[in-house]
Structure 1
């Protein structure tokens, strides 16, 4: 009697669990929808997903292929799947958001996320641009620590002073203030300390000042 109860319990347990293992292998996916935190996924991402889903495959096969692709795509920060009857699979994606931009001498722009990774290469952007004479990094690559430091400084300068462009010149970040002096930053140190020093200097200057350059690469700012 005791063994019979154990057998019935195991049979019931198998009956409950088996659909979770069998259904993903049986169900066929006929349609895939992709959404991000910004709305529909980007056209580039949609096209790549469409290429994967050209023929009907099982839920488990589809999720396996999509997982391999999404984990390798630089624009995807995180993702999840949701199956909806009868044959629809929804992909919810958190895309990396461009925060910085680096522009080369040909006008091409690398859009970069907050961690310094290149998301895409475009021919224009509304973001503040760091101008460089060097070639742009490839999509998926990370910019140098010096470039990331300069980008973060430029981002802050845009927030405080609406500066839209900066240039790396001789291991320094050079920024032209609107109706103001040229500011030279080092490519290391504390952002807050550098911006604080700049604000103190600007507060001391009057509207008739003939200052053309504020150099913050030294312990004490050099004003020319």
Structure 2
């Protein structure tokens, strides 16, 4: 009797294990089928990219930028890699930064920061003016401009070219000086930036130090000198301690 009972229990356990295994397989297959159907559903035309909205800090994007929008249209919203469009737009030289994000259910929102000139570069031996942005990129050549003019000695510039480090540093310093005192003319000579203030003070800037710190030091000296009523003729900021000269220089 004991043997029969044990055999019966063994058969029941075997049946249970077999049924459990079958049900587990069914559940796994069912889950895989549902996943497959879900992926197919996501890839349907219901979730295709239908619209692309683009803007810059100046307004709508240019036609040149919009030409890049053909490829993403019709692509799947969920599986499309927005970095693809961003990298494509960055190939346009005037696009400094590009951000692309998805807006459910089928729109891409594109924000482009266009390069913006901060100073005009004038070559000492030529009349052409070159617009330069904060990165030192030459973004255009013009006949005239309302921006402050920095004269350099270098013999040649081209649109798309980048300024060398010294001239870029000079452009950044001059941009800050212009914002602080509305000084509109400066020049680079003998590895220094030369600026003349509205008070007829000549200022020498080094081209190897932080622009913010240099312009801050100049403002402090000018403020103190104006309060004391004694203005120097020359301020030389190329040394650890600024040199101020009075009288004829």
Deviation at 1:158, TM superposition (A): 1.9
- Give, in whole Å, the separation in 1 of the partners of 2:230 and 2:130: 37
- Give, in whole Å, the separation in 2 of the partners of 1:204 and 1:28: 63
Alignment of structure 1 residues 71-220 onto 2, 5 Å? 71-74=90-93, 75-82=95-102, 89-98=107-116, 100-104=118-122, 105-113=126-134, 116-118=135-137, 120-123=139-142, 124-134=144-154, 135-139=156-160, 141-191=161-211, 192-193=213-214, 195-196=216-217, 199-200=220-221, 203-204=224-225, 211-218=232-239, 219-220=241-242
- Give, in whole Å, the separation in 2 of the partners of 1:159 and 1:28: 44
Query: Helix, strand or coil for the counterpart of 2:203?
Result: strand
**Residue aligning to 1:221:** 243
In 2, are the aligned partners of 1:32 and 1:91 still within 8 Å (CA)? yes
**Residue aligning to 1:17:** 39
In 1, are the aligned partners of 2:116 and 2:133 still within 8 Å (CA)? yes
Structure 2: 5+ residue runs without aligned partners? 1-22
> TM-score, normalized by length of structure 2?
0.66
Deviation at 1:129, TM superposition (A): 3.2
Higher relative contact order (CA 8 A, sep 6+): 1
Distance verdict in 2 for CA 1:54–1:10, change over 3 Å? closer
Pair member with larger Rg = 2
- Give, in whole Å, the separation in 1 of the partners of 2:158 and 2:96: 19
Deviation at 1:174, TM superposition (A): 0.8
Distance verdict in 2 for CA 1:204–1:101, change over 3 Å? closer
> TM-score, normalized by length of structure 1?
0.72
Provide the aligned C-alpha RMSD in A: 3.7
Query: Helix, strand or coil for the counterpart of 1:151?
Result: helix
- Give, in whole Å, the separation in 2 of the partners of 1:55 and 1:94: 18
Stretch deviating more after TM superposition (126-135 or 183-192): 126-135
Stretch deviating more after TM superposition (167-176 or 61-70): 61-70
Deviation at 1:194, TM superposition (A): 6.2
Deviation at 1:221, TM superposition (A): 0.9
Distance verdict in 2 for CA 1:63–1:174, change over 3 Å? same
Deviations 1:66-97 (A, max 9, x none): 44421323414122144677xx7544123145
